[in-house]
Chain A
Amino acid sequence: MPDPNPLIPLSALGVYFHGVYVSLTFGLPVAIGVMLWKYWKTGDKDYYKAARLMTAVLAVNFALGAINGTLVEFGLVQVWPGVNLAIATFAFAPLALELIAFSNEIAFLILFIVTLGRVKPPVSLAILTVYAGFAYFSGVLITAVNSWMQAPWGVGPVAQVLYPFMPEYGPNAVDVQKLVALKLAAVATGQPISLIIERPGVAQEIGIVLKDPFVILYSPYALVSIFHNIIAATLIGLAITIAGWALRYFKTGDQKYLKIVKPLAGVFAVIFVIQAPIVAHFMGEMVVKYNPTKFALMEGAKETYYNPIKALVAYGDPNKPIVGFDQLREACLSHGNKTIGDLIKALDLPDTLTLQAAGLTVDSSGIASVKLADGHPDTLTLRGTGLTVDLSSIASVRLADLCLQDLQKAEAYMPLINTAYYTKVTFAIIGGLAAAVLFFYFYRAPGLSALATAIARFFGDERRRVFILALLLVLGTVIPAVMGWYVREAGRKPWTVYGLCYPSELVTPVPYSTDPGFLAFAYFVILAVNFGGFFALYIVATREYKFLELLKKGAGVR
């Protein structure tokens, strides 16, 4: 079976590129909306031109986001086909609703682009609002699915059975016996889950695994993540937009660009105040509660320690300890000498799992008669679609050993996760300070504006000040997002679905997926398309029309 390790960075690359475009997709509508509002209220054409230019950038950005979304989507179903089981169960409802969001998002975006400048500003604003609403709704649903991988809401105590340090994840909405049987089948055979679920008729034989298809949507982890991720993405998009206009102001000194930066900086500061102290705090609380290994990794807690400030932020109680891996290991040892065999007995599972899918209605004679190309036998006989898994090979494995082994794998990530987390926090503080300075530089407040102006003067004349502060906004949002996402995704290792599934259980069984040639080709395509896309975005955003003479002549325009 392919080693999943080379495929993880490939998937991550696609996700990161998607994240860049999603951020602009969330931030640009806010910026365009502000411009249209100002145009509507003042009649100043500069605001309309700014809105039009940003709409062109949004359109190219959306296309790039869509293809990277496609890449991520196919990455999931093709490179990680075991995820299809999650899509068919827990993720079914959010992904069905996502179709509503995605299709209407695009339909309203096209309507907005087509009608911009042809209808009155409030009508454009209304269409833009509906578009943005569907775009955010899409973000809500995708984040809900991603959150389930962080905290698999609806499996109740299943993860806790194997890892006693884990909490219960919501109500028990699953058929525990079937879920554990599938997991054990993957462990016993050492093969990805997709080799089980691909078999025609197997789903019918296994039957209902999840009793409440909507359970994923009730997750508190998802609720907080939704606000945290969407606001973070919006801030990044806005920061990049502000920096773009600030760059123009820096280059030209034209006051019309400063006029555009000012309201955008105001909106940015307001949203930042909601994100950093409020939503980020609740996100941290969720990690503490539902991702004990991730929290220990973030805080570098090899051993349990006391830190009143961290404890106050994490638990709201300065006297509580920061739980480290020593305590998590102790929890593993509470299994005593219990084995997987004991678990099999407790769940009343047979020693040998048999899926007789072929015994349903599969008539394989048709396939058996398929003629193949030269070099293959003329006819084939199906090996049968049934599956037999002998669980006795893993029955003697001690649960404590399994638990400790996974903790050890998780702990190996500590230097990276700890560094990434504190880099994130540092840059978020820089971003917050820059936002505050820029806000009070533009909007007068007694005392604070004087302080902001004094700080801003360190950066030189006004053109430099605005540009450098805008650049700090970009650094203060992009770096926390990049690092934060890394902490979120890598911090849940060694599991892909926290406490339930390893990457090796979800990876494709296709052998050449990890072939260096294939990987090199995949990296080349992803990098070439995206860097080409970035360059195109830059051209669309910055370059004037130089080559329209022929077109104007054709259209009879002077």
Chain B
Amino acid sequence: MNDAVFIGFVGLGLSVVLHVIFVSMTLGTGLLAAWYRWRAYRQNDPWAELFARKVFKVLIVSELFSGVWGTIITVFLAGFFTALLTLATNTLFIPIAIAIVAIMIRIPAIAISWYTWGKIHPRTHSLVMWIMALSGFGVPFGFRAIFAEINNPMAVGYYLQTGLNPGWMPYANPLFWTLYLHTVAAVISVGGFVAASLTALEKDVRGVKSGLTLGYVFLISQLAFGPLYWYSLDLYSPMLFNAVNTTYGPLFGIKLVAVAALLVLGYMALKSAKAGAIHPATKWLAPLALFTVVAGEVLNDGARYPNMVLAGDTGLPVALFANFYIEIPMPAVYVTLAFLILSLVVFTTAAFYALYRRFIAEVPETE
């Protein structure tokens, strides 16, 4: 594998992981914020309104930056893996269209939710918040179909064999459903833990309890969805299954330990919160939950290396999908990667001031 192809694979992997970190935080917190905003309106509960706004800050800070990494993924695919992207768009038209529609609703709904808060009637605002929260789950509903096809090219195989577009067939891929359920449970769980960790910094016991309850319930559900996905890999993507259990076994083991730690610490934190106290471990639950997400994504995508597509017992090497139409200008690629790191540093600074130093006020400046 030449340098350009390798850097392309690594860059793509890095972009996917970063994108997944941000979306994991925002999908779950979005749901939590919408739920408490609605409760505030229905029950006239001032605390619920404030909590919803606090949690929502995570989205307002990170959603656009999360979207950047989605764009970066597309450009990496088009620039480095032209054949893969073209094959995906020609084959998986419907899943991609679903994801685009969801993105088109989700991102403006986030900005609109924040900047119209207090300017429109609470009932209308609650509705906008629900649209914001639920549309988010349409994005993985589209894109996870691509991931499922990469590991088990059922619709793509049909297309390559017959030349006919497979239409909705990607949703008949059993690997899609196990992956989607695993993903949805993960992001909601992470969102709950992120909300708990953030409100723990502010000593808001009720907020901690609310976040932990959501996070823990969906973590428990992962005890079913995780093994189900693992088992479906054995059935439908044996190469990935073998890689996860052998070459990537140590990382898989670490991930399982992290999940176990999350279960134990989450239980202790929830017990404390129910008793009206904040357990010292609470603030570490968000980083730990995010670590499990990163580990899971690396296992899911990185374990395919040196292949890009896995079809049964056969792997299609990365180079088969790579761009050989130009000699990739590596200096430009390195400069780009350096500036992407700069943007991460700037974003982290902004997020630190917004969330930790509380530069974004819960109550908008009216004067």
Closest CB in chain A relative to B38 CB, distance in Å: 13
Say which residue of B67, B85, B327 sits within 8 Å of A77 (CB atoms): B85
Identify which of residues 180-237 in chain A touch chain B, using a CB-to-CB cut-off of 8 Å: 194-195, 197-204, 206-211, 213-214
Shortest distance from the beta carbon of B14 to any chain A beta carbon, whole Å = 12
Fill in one digit per residue for B308-352: 1 if any A CB lies within 8 Å of its CB, else 0: 001111111101111111111100110110011011101101110
Contact A382 B161 (CB under 8 A): yes
Which B residues are in CB contact (< 8 Å) with A98?
A: 75
Would A197 and B349 count as touching, CB distance under 8 A? no
- Whether A551 contacts B326 by the Cβ 8 Å rule is no
Give A85 to B118 CA distance when docked, in angstroms. 48
Does B277 sit within 8 A of A, measured CB to CB?
no
Q: How far is the CB of B295 from chain A (nearest CB, A)?
A: 24
Kindly state whether residue B140 has any CB partner on chain A within 8 Å: no
> Is A346's beta carbon under 8 Å from chain B?
no
Determine whether B101 belongs to the interface, using a CB cutoff of 8 Å to chain A: yes
Within the complex, the shortest CB–CB distance from A364 to chain B, in Å, comes to 8
Instruction: Report if B197 contacts A (CB, 8 A).
Output: no
B359 close to chain A: CB less than 8 A: yes
Q: Does A353 contact B (CB under 8 A)?
A: no
Closest to B100 in A: A74
**Residue in A66, A100, A367, A526 whose beta carbon sits within 8 Å of that of B336 in the complex:** A100
| B83: interface (CB < 8 Å) | yes
* Residue contact B107 to A63, C-beta cutoff 8 Å: yes
B291 within 8 A of A: no
Quick check: A370 and B100 within 8 Å, CB to CB?
no
Residues of A within 8 A of B354 (CB): 110, 114
In the complex the two chains form, is A103's CB within 8 Å of B83's CB? no
Bound-state CA distance A554–B206 (Å) is: 13
Contact A361 B110 (CB under 8 A): no
Q: Is the CB of B353 within 8 A of A532?
A: no
> Do residues A110 and B350 form an inter-chain contact, with CB atoms below 8 A?
yes
Give a binary string over A47-88; 1 marks a CB under 8 Å from any B CB, 0 the rest.
001001000100110111011111101100110010011011
Which chain A positions have C-beta within 8 A of B349? 111
> Which of A66, A198, A509 has the most CB atoms of chain B within a 10 A radius of its CB?
A198
Interface residues as binary, B349-367 with A (CB distance below 8 Å gives 1, 0 otherwise): 1110110000110111111
With beta carbons under 8 angstroms apart, the residue of B78, B316, B323 that contacts A200 is B316
B97 at the interface (CB under 8 A from A): yes
Asked whether B82 lies within 8 Å of A84 as measured between CB atoms, the reply is: yes
A88 to chain B, nearest CB (A): 4
How near does chain A come to B307, taking the closest CB pair, in angstroms?
A: 10
The complex places the Cα of A67 from the Cα of B68 at a distance, in Å, of: 11
Cβ contacts under 8 Å, B251 to chain A: none
Among B38-82, those with CB < 8 Å from A are: 40, 44-51, 53, 61, 64-65, 67-72, 74-75, 78-79, 82
CB distance from B71 to the nearest CB of A (A): 6
Restricting to A101-159, which residues have a CB under 8 Å from any CB of B? 102-104, 106-111, 114-115, 117-118
Whether B158 contacts A103 by the Cβ 8 Å rule is: no
Q: How far is the CA of A92 from the CA of B70 in the complex (A)?
A: 17
Looking at B119-127, B266-274, B296-304, the stretch in contact with chain A turns out to be: B119-127
For residue B249, CB closer than 8 A to chain A, the reply is: no
B227 interfacial by beta-carbon distance below 8 Å: no
Decide if B343 touches A103 in the complex (CB within 8 Å).
Answer: yes
* Distance, CA A325 to CA B281, complexed state (A): 77
Tell me how far the C-beta of B44 lies from the nearest C-beta in chain A, rounded to whole angstroms. Answer: 7
Residues of B within 8 A of A360 (CB): 320
Chain B 251-273, CB within 8 Å of chain A: the 1/0 string?
Answer: 00000000000000000000000
Q: Are A71 and B104 in contact (CB under 8 A)?
A: yes
Query: Within residues 86 to 134 of chain B, which ones have a CB less than 8 A from any CB in chain A?
Result: 86-87, 89-90, 93, 96-97, 100-101, 103-105, 107-108, 110-112, 114-122, 125
> Which residues of chain B are near A203, meaning CB under 8 Å?
82-83, 321-325
A61 → chain B closest CB, angstroms: 9
**Does A554 lie within 8 Å of B50, measured CB to CB?**
yes
Are the C-beta atoms of A383 and B79 separated by less than 8 Å? no
Distance (whole angstroms) from the CB of A185 to the closest CB of chain B: 15
Q: Does A458 count as interface, using CB distance less than 8 angstroms?
A: no
Q: How many residues of B contact A (CB 8 A)?
A: 110
Contact of B118 among A93, A199, A545 (CB under 8 A): A545
Neighbour of A536 across the interface among B108, B350, B363, CB < 8 A: B108
Binding stretch for chain A, among B25-33, B164-172, B186-194, B211-219? B164-172
Q: Contacts A88-B325, A539-B116 hold; do A200 and B82 have CB atoms under 8 A apart? A: no
- Picked from A93, A543, A550, the residue with its CB within 8 Å of the CB of B40 is A550
Q: What distance in Å separates the Cβ of B32 from its nearest Cβ neighbour in chain A?
A: 16
Interface stretch of the complex, out of A258-266, A336-344, A468-476, A510-518: A510-518
**Residue A455 is within 8 A (CB to CB) of chain B in the complex:** no
Cross-chain contact A383 with B161 (CB below 8 angstroms): yes
Q: Is B160 in contact with chain A by the CB < 8 A criterion?
A: yes
**Chain B CB within 8 A of A529 CB:** yes
Tell me if B152 is interfacial: C-beta within 8 Å of chain A.
yes
Neighbour of B363 across the interface among A64, A77, A202, A557, CB < 8 A: A557
Please pick, from B72, B86, B90, B152, the residue contacting A99 in the complex, using a CB distance under 8 A. Answer: B72
The reply to whether A551 and B324 contact each other, CB–CB distance below 8 Å, is no
Assess whether A110 is in contact with B65, with CB atoms less than 8 Å apart: yes
Q: Give chain B nearest CB distance to A63 CB in angstroms.
A: 4
- Structural contact, B326 and A89, CB atoms closer than 8 A: yes
- Could you pull out 20 A-B pairs where Cβ atoms are within 8 angstroms? A59-B115, A70-B71, A73-B74, A96-B79, A99-B336, A103-B340, A109-B64, A110-B64, A111-B353, A199-B87, A200-B320, A361-B317, A367-B160, A367-B314, A510-B90, A513-B93, A536-B115, A547-B120, A548-B366, A551-B53
Given contacts A100-B335, A366-B310, 20 further A-B contacts (CB under 8 A): A73-B71, A92-B326, A92-B328, A99-B71, A99-B339, A102-B68, A114-B350, A195-B90, A197-B86, A198-B83, A367-B161, A369-B312, A369-B314, A370-B311, A380-B162, A385-B160, A532-B108, A540-B116, A548-B363, A550-B45
Please list the 7 inter-chain residue pairs (A to B) with the smallest Cβ-Cβ separation, ordered nearest first.
Answer: A366-B314, A366-B311, A554-B50, A554-B46, A63-B111, A103-B343, A100-B339
List B residues at the A interface (Cβ < 8 Å): 40, 44-51, 53, 61, 64-65, 67-72, 74-75, 78-79, 82-83, 85-87, 89-90, 93, 96-97, 100-101, 103-105, 107-108, 110-112, 114-122, 125, 152-154, 156-158, 160-163, 165, 167, 169, 172, 310-317, 319-329, 332-333, 335-336, 339-340, 342-344, 346-347, 349-351, 353-354, 359-360, 362-367
